[in-house]
């Protein structure tokens, strides 16, 4: 298996919100009066209103239509079954920056983890949880909704139990998309932090024997780039819940402001988000999402979705102060410079922090290789050609962001559910919050640093 020789370092690891998409996208959310059905004749009614029905999610009473008519939303509201209509939204991914490779010649299985470079796994107390028998199992599956998981990666191959995709073209079942990453390695990196296996390759995740389900919802969207329609994510969330997966991990989302420019229709969009979250919660699946990387105060009129939606655990990020090989614990637990903060935070996890974007390069600064202060995990070199045969080159790289903090929390959730499968989502969240380590202000860290060992005692 070919391993990448260049390590990627991405400074910002969560998706951004493109508010302009509310006005110009030509894709619309239709919120039904019914919260659990879509009428069978909706397609013809949408056509009469000047649009084309392209997706239905009947479990939550949501449909999606496209139209070039700027008055379509108003027209759609005249359909008897429709409660409200508004423009759809998209999320974007950050760009990665290639870095020079340090000496990383493998010496043994899990050598990068054993060297101390995968510091976040240790910080959340995972080794102590493992020592007590809590390593996860394929009975508790972490659904990663992202850019897909490279299931040919040696650290992930034994734990990937399901893959799927949802895009504007349809789903994997329709033959409309490819679950394997062809556009970004983001989802593969996230998956490694959650559940890279023991002795499979060179890193280890927080729940190294948990199952992984990879959902690819990203595609190339004109005037946006590598983006995901939020309704594609909703379809994936509902599917994961219907399949009984234990936890949904979403290292994506973005920020908007009520009354802000380009946010007409935000209320309709948020109402749809709440419906989806409520359904998933009732199905028994825990949801975890990143809080965002804009260093914004989330109190007041600013909202970061999906993390701010009720019933979803909202994860901030911590980093480590520059110090020789991260001596425990004095150099840990600063709020990462990019992490959003405020009352909506549930807990925090290791996301990495190199001080500022300008120092997050592959070159040593004052004797430090600053990429090491980010999160090291599995990556893939995505390309549509090799993705068609699920054979793209794989390797290891650093990224930083609330995206990287989120899988640490999702994995702890999976360990709790594996230890006590009868717990309901609200009970799991309460356990994670109650056992989080107090590391400072609630405004900066929520209930604190997630702890795998304490949550599974």
pTM of the model: 0.92
CA distance 405 to 146: 14
Q: What is the pLDDT of residue 350?
A: 95
Residues near 122 by Cβ (< 8 Å), separated by ≥ 6? Answer: 116, 328
> Which position among 25, 84, 146, 155 bears the catalytic label?
146
Cα–Cα nearest to 386, from 185, 95, 176, 91: 185
> How would residue 16 be classed by pLDDT, with cut points 50, 70 and 90?
very low
Helices (H) and strands (E) in the chain, counts: 14, 23
Most confident of 30-39, 114-123, 196-205: 30-39
Asked if 379 contacts 396 with a C-beta cutoff of 8 angstroms, the reply is yes
Q: What is the pLDDT of residue 218?
A: 96
Cα dihedral across residues 46, 47, 49, 50: positive or negative: positive
337 phi/psi in degrees, rounded to 5? -60, -25
Mean pLDDT of 183-194: 96
> Which position among 249, 403, 410, 414 bears the catalytic label?
403
CA distance 57 to 53: 12
> How would residue 8 be classed by pLDDT, with cut points 50, 70 and 90?
very low
CB-CB neighbours of 345 under 10 Å: 26
CA distance 320 to 404: 14
Q: What is the pLDDT of residue 270?
A: 92
* Residue position matching structure tokens 């995972």: 126
Q: What is the pLDDT of residue 258?
A: 76
> How would residue 355 be classed by pLDDT, with cut points 50, 70 and 90?
low
Cα separation of the two ends of the chain: 39
> Which position among 134, 186, 189, 408 bears the catalytic label?
186
Cα–Cα nearest to 17, from 73, 94, 95: 94
Mean pLDDT of 410-416: 99
Q: What is the pLDDT of residue 162?
A: 98
Mean pLDDT of 154-178: 95
186 is catalytic: yes
Q: What is the DSSP letter of 206?
A: S
SS3 content of the chain, % helix, strand, coil (to 5): 25, 25, 45
* Residue position matching structure tokens 């969330």: 237
Position 326 pLDDT exceeds 90: no
Cα dihedral across residues 413, 419, 422, 427: positive or negative: negative
Please state whether beta strands 170-171 and 160-167 pair in parallel, antiparallel, or not at all (unpaired). antiparallel
Return the minimum-mean-pLDDT range out of 56-70, 143-157, 244-258, 435-449: 244-258
Position 102 pLDDT exceeds 80: no
Position 315 pLDDT exceeds 70: yes
In angstroms, what CA-CA distances link 192 with 150, 210, 457? 10, 11, 24
Asked if 304 contacts 293 with a C-beta cutoff of 8 angstroms, the reply is no
**pLDDT tens by residue, 227-242:** 899 999 999 999 999 9
Q: What is the pLDDT of residue 304?
A: 87
> How would residue 354 be classed by pLDDT, with cut points 50, 70 and 90?
confident
Cis check for the bond before 306: say yes or no (omega within 30 of 0): yes
Residues near 414 by Cβ (< 8 Å), separated by ≥ 6? Answer: 136, 140, 141, 142, 194, 195, 207, 210, 246, 247
Asked if 134 contacts 173 with a C-beta cutoff of 8 angstroms, the reply is no
Counting every residue written for the chain, the total comes to 457
Asked if 99 contacts 8 with a C-beta cutoff of 8 angstroms, the reply is yes
Cα–Cα nearest to 247, from 170, 144, 339: 144
């Amino acid at each position: 298996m070919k391993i990448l020789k260049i390590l990627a370092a991405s400074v910002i690891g969560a998706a951004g919100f493109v508010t302009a998409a509310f006005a110009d996208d030509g894709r619309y959310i239709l919120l039904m009066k019914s919260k659990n059905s879509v009428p069978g004749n909706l397609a013809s009614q949408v056509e009469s209103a000047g649009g084309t029905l392209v997706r239905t999610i009947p479990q939550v009473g949501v449909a999606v239509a496209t139209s070039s008519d700027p008055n379509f939303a108003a027209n759609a509201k005249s359909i008897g079954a429709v409660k409200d209509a508004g423009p759809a939204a998209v999320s974007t991914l950050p760009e990665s920056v290639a870095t020079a490779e340090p000496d990383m010649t493998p010496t043994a299985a899990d050598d990068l983890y054993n060297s101390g470079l995968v510091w976040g796994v240790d910080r959340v107390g995972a080794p102590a949880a493992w020592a007590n028998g809590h390593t996860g199992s394929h009975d508790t599956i972490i659904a990663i909704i992202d850019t897909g998981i490279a299931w040919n990666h040696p650290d992930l191959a034994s734990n990937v139990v399901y893959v799927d995709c949802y895009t504007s073209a349809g789903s994997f079942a329709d033959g409309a998309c490819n679950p394997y990453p062809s556009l970004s390695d983001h989802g593969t990196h996230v998956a490694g932090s959650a559940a890279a296996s023991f002795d499979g390759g060179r890193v280890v995740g927080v729940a190294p024997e948990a199952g992984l389900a990879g959902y690819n919802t990203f595609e190339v969207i004109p005037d946006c780039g590598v983006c995901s329609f939020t309704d594609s994510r909703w379809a994936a969330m509902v599917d994961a819940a219907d399949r009984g997966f234990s936890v949904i991990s979403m290292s994506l989302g973005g920020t908007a402001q009520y009354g802000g420019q380009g946010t007409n229709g935000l209320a309709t969009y948020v109402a749809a988000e709440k419906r989806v979250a409520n359904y998933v919660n009732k199905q028994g699946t825990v949801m975890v999402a990143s809080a965002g990387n804009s260093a914004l105060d989330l109190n007041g009129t600013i909202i970061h979705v999906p993390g701010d939606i009720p019933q979803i655990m909202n994860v901030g990020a911590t980093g480590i102060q520059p110090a020789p090989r991260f001596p425990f614990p004095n150099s840990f637990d600063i709020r990462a410079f990019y992490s959003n903060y405020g009352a909506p935070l549930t807990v925090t996890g290791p996301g990495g922090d190199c001080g500022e974007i300008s120092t997050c390069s592959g070159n040593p600064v004052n004797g430090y290789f600053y990429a090491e202060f980010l999160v090291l995990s599995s990556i893939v070199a995505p390309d549509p050609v090799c993705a068609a045969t699920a054979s793209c080159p794989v390797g290891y790289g650093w990224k930083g962001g609330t995206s990287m903090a989120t899988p640490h929390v999702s994995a702890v959730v999976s360990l709790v559910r594996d230890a006590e499968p009868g717990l309901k989502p609200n009970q799991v969240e309460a356990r994670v919050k109650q056992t989080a380590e107090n590391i400072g202000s609630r405004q900066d860290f929520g209930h604190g640093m997630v702890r795998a060992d304490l949550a599974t005692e």
